[in-house]
């Protein structure tokens, strides 16, 4: 069933980041959170190892360089560009277009 909800932008961004971390769609993530919320279950665990990535207190992803291998410096503009590219690829994939 389709429905429309007006959600805060920061909440949608956090949900998209969590879906990306877990390798699922936003639809799947939201459905699982609703299902768990209705049944009082625990939140789903991330499929990416917590040794590599975790969320900080504001819900932003934190990558641990030691677990990833070589350390590469990245500035804010480059990080935002990478995030934008990931969001575009996810949107294209969900729309059935080639990434």
* Confidence tier at 71 by pLDDT (50, 70, 90): low
pLDDT at 70 over 70: no
Q: Kind and range of the H or E element at 34?
A: helix 26-39
Q: What sign results for the dihedral spanned by CA atoms 29, 32, 33, 34?
A: positive
Distance of CA 65 to the CA centre of its chain: 19
Q: pTM to 2 decimals? A: 0.41
pLDDT digits (tens, 9 = 90+) for 1-55: 888 889 889 889 988 988 888 888 899 888 888 888 887 655 444 444 555 666 7
- Give the C-alpha separation, 99 to 83, whole Å: 15
């Amino acid at each position: 069933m389709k429905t429309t909800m007006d959600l805060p932008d920061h909440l949608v961004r956090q949900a998209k980041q969590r879906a990306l971390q877990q390798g699922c769609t936003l639809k799947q993530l939201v459905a699982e959170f609703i299902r768990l919320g209705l049944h009082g279950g625990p939140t789903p665990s991330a499929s990416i190892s917590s040794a590599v990535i975790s969320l900080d207190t504001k819900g932003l992803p934190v990558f641990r360089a030691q677990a990833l291998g070589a350390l590469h410096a990245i500035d804010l503009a480059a990080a935002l560009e990478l995030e934008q590219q990931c969001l575009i690829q996810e949107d294209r994939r969900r729309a059935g277009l080639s990434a």
